[in-house]
Structure 1
Amino acid sequence: MAHTAPLISRRSATRLALAAAALSAFAAAPAAFASGDYPNKPIRLVVPYPPGGPTDIVARVVAQKLQEQLGQSIIVDNKPGAGANLGAEQVARSTPDGYTLMVATTAHAINPSLFSKLNYSITKDFTPISQLTSGPLVIVATPTLQASNVKELIALAKSRPGGLNYASSGNGQSTHLSAELFSAMAGVKMNHVPYKGSAPALTDVMSGQADLMFDTMLSSMPFVKGGKLKAIAVTSSERSPSAPDIPTIAEAGLPGYEAIAWNGMLAPAGTPKEVIDRLNAALRTVLQSPDVKQRFDGQGFAAKWDTPSAFGSFLNAEVEKWGKVVKTSGAKVD
């Protein structure tokens, strides 16, 4: 009997070890199952802007095609407010399981340096999935402006320091900071006149109340085609397929200039890699489909797929680039 107790202890220890291993495997199973079975319920795609705008249009085109690839419904949820920060903060705080995603824009790269207080970090609280679109702004001017190309615009601005008024859709928006980047690179000073949206700003440019504006092609090109505005140049490094006759700012007199409006898809930080890879692969098919490319070309932007790491590097570079422009411009929002 002296040897019985140690024998029972060894058996008990073995059973305990096996039980612990089984519990450990069971605990790990839900996460593995969730990733491997993804998606098994509808996905919410947050758009931090109102319905009907350029970002909302992109989101709905992508959502429709993405749900065909994934076999699950994708619900577009508009959460506008606070300069696109309200929706971003909600997604950053969401469960990182791949069922809450966000469409980010150039504004999210600008906001870290523009707002004195943010309750999230676009680079730390999110995991990049892929870029979705890339498109230029276009410099449009009142038809009577005595400049029809970039070199003439720079010469006119230099001859009238602070005398040219440029409109924007709001303080700190890409329509504002793209013009500030232009001014800094060209060594000119123009007077900024912020509006609440592109529509009233364009109205004043058309009437001559403001001289020019850096605006999205979606909202401004119909007026260019109608003769109510004249297009001077696009802000991308290459000409836009939707307006191939309009030169780039870089080729027309300001080498190295580039400012693009973009959309990308993000998930909360900590989302499993398997889920990110699944979404990225599906987006590749979506963004390379001819009908999606055609839809986006008609809106003035190009479909652009990227790997998660490449999109992450792009996002970091955008945050750094616009941070310098914000600092130079002195723009701030409390």
Structure 2
Amino acid sequence: MKKWMCVALLASSTLAWAQADFPNKPVKLLVPYAPGGSTDVLARALAKHLATELKQPVVVENKPGANTRIAATAAARSPADGYTLFMASNASMVLNPLLYKNLSYSTQDLTVTNILVEAPLVLVTNPATQIKTLAQLQAYNKANPGKLNYASVGLGNPLQLATEMIKTRLKIDATHVPFNGSAPALQGLMANDTQLMLDVVGTSLPHIRAGKLVALATTGTQRSAYLPDTPTVAESGWPGFQAATWFGVAVPAATPPAVKSTLQQAIDAVMRKREFNATVISQFLAPKQPQTAEQLQRFLQQDSAKWRKVIQDNQIALDN
């Protein structure tokens, strides 16, 4: 009996020592997108500054595909020791569980430790429609029944779901036309094959500045710093409207609390760095302030409730 107690005490003390010594080897950051995009740039900036805070290398590993499910599954199945981080988003942590009948991972197996940024969204049209405001969009829809089409990068994508939110609130009818990627979707919009698209600000902004697209409204709680003259949906006559995509960090849920706390505090420190936020802004993303675990949990619950209603109202379900 005493022998087993000694073994248990030894194991417990070894675990405590390992946690106190964390980290003592490189940390891996799984990113569910291909290299080169804004999320990858964000991840590499985080890795650079986080390595300084943790005093260990932080290595970015890209695992794109399947609407973030490949990377999310790998993260959920990783050892819960703090050495595998996941670049989480509302796609992986909120939308996928609501959209897919058979998901290869459970969000219960992952814990969000930090939300780094939001990606501001803008509703755009092309000059040929002569639409410049949401009120004019409603008038166009009424005068041209069945002729309004909207582009997206795929069914169940956060931007497509947010467009459905706009349709419901504005009481307009528009047919969904999915494209294989943002570039062809924008080309179709500029050619007037479609008349609307909700896009991340950073992608559409060069076309807006060139006069090839018209910004109708942004979807945040306040005007975007990148489009200060463009009103929000809320201030255009639909109070309370808000939609955004977000990106953060998650770890396997069984990661020891002390290790989670170390990671959260280190990432919070990165989020306060001027150089990190300069990189965030250069990618047309909006930096977030550090939040407590309770604040994060409340935010995720509210985000899930909002998107669940959109998905249920539009009867959207995806096959694996």
TM-score for both structures, normalised by structure 2: 0.95
- In structure 1, the partner of 2:102 is 117
- In structure 1, the partner of 2:299 is 314
Aligned partners of 1:195 and 1:244: how far apart in 2? 29
Q: Does 1:160 align with 2:144?
A: yes
Residues 109-136 of structure 1, C-alpha deviations (whole Å, 9 max, x = no match)? 11112112102222x1111211010132
Residues 39-85 of structure 1, C-alpha deviations (whole Å, 9 max, x = no match)? 11111100111112222121111111111111111111111121111
Counterpart selection for 2:74 from 83, 90, 110: 90
Between stretches 292-301 and 99-108, larger displacement belongs to 292-301
Counterpart selection for 1:329 from 273, 290, 314: 314
Tell me the secondary structure at the aligned position of residue 104 of structure 1. strand
Residues 26 and 83, structure 2, Cα contact 8 Å, conserved in 1: yes
Tell me the secondary structure at the aligned position of residue 144 of structure 1. helix
- In structure 2, the partner of 1:5 is none
Equivalent positions of 1:257-276 (< 5 A) are 257-276=241-260
| Cα distance, 1:21 vs structure 2 | 4.2
Moved over 4 A (4+): none
Aligned partners of 2:308 and 2:144: how far apart in 1? 28
Residues 88 and 112, structure 2, Cα contact 8 Å, conserved in 1: no
Aligned partners of 1:36 and 1:77: how far apart in 2? 26
- Higher-Rg member (1/2): 1
Aligned partners of 1:102 and 1:313: how far apart in 2? 20
Aligned partners of 2:39 and 2:307: how far apart in 1? 19
Tell me the secondary structure at the aligned position of residue 173 of structure 2. coil
| Cα distance, 1:30 vs structure 2 | 2.1
- In structure 2, the partner of 1:172 is 156
Counterpart selection for 1:150 from 128, 131, 134: 134
Aligned partners of 1:243 and 1:254: how far apart in 2? 19
Residues 120 and 286, structure 2, Cα contact 8 Å, conserved in 1: no
Q: Does 1:34 align with 2:18?
A: yes
Residues 192-227 of structure 1, C-alpha deviations (whole Å, 9 max, x = no match)? 100111110001111111111000112111111111
- In structure 1, the partner of 2:47 is 63
Residues 255-288 of structure 1, C-alpha deviations (whole Å, 9 max, x = no match)? 1111011001100111011111111111111111
Between stretches 93-102 and 292-301, larger displacement belongs to 292-301
Q: Does 1:51 align with 2:67?
A: no
Tell me the secondary structure at the aligned position of residue 242 of structure 1. coil
- In structure 2, the partner of 1:11 is none
Residues 8-42 of structure 1, C-alpha deviations (whole Å, 9 max, x = no match)? xxxxxxxx64x554332211022111211111111
| Cα distance, 1:289 vs structure 2 | 1.2
Aligned partners of 1:280 and 1:112: how far apart in 2? 24
- In structure 2, the partner of 1:9 is none
| Cα distance, 1:253 vs structure 2 | 2.0
Between stretches 23-32 and 218-227, larger displacement belongs to 23-32
Q: Which residue type is aligned with residue 323 of structure 1?
A: R
C-alpha change, 1:178 and 1:66, in structure 2 (3 Å) is: same
Residues 112 and 118, structure 1, Cα contact 8 Å, conserved in 2: yes
- In structure 2, the partner of 1:245 is 229
- In structure 2, the partner of 1:141 is 125
- In structure 1, the partner of 2:195 is 211
Aligned partners of 1:150 and 1:161: how far apart in 2? 16
Residues 288 and 303, structure 1, Cα contact 8 Å, conserved in 2: no
Tell me the secondary structure at the aligned position of residue 246 of structure 2. strand
Instruction: Name structure 2 gaps, 5 residues minimum.
Output: none
Residues 171-208 of structure 1, C-alpha deviations (whole Å, 9 max, x = no match)? 11112111100111122211110011111000111111
Residues 112 and 319, structure 1, Cα contact 8 Å, conserved in 2: no
Aligned partners of 1:155 and 1:254: how far apart in 2? 16
Aligned partners of 1:162 and 1:30: how far apart in 2? 67
Residues 123 and 196, structure 2, Cα contact 8 Å, conserved in 1: yes
Tell me the secondary structure at the aligned position of residue 330 of structure 1. coil
| Cα distance, 1:237 vs structure 2 | 0.9
Q: Does 1:202 align with 2:186?
A: yes
| Cα distance, 1:312 vs structure 2 | 2.5
- In structure 2, the partner of 1:7 is none
Residues 241 and 297, structure 1, Cα contact 8 Å, conserved in 2: no
Tell me the secondary structure at the aligned position of residue 41 of structure 2. helix
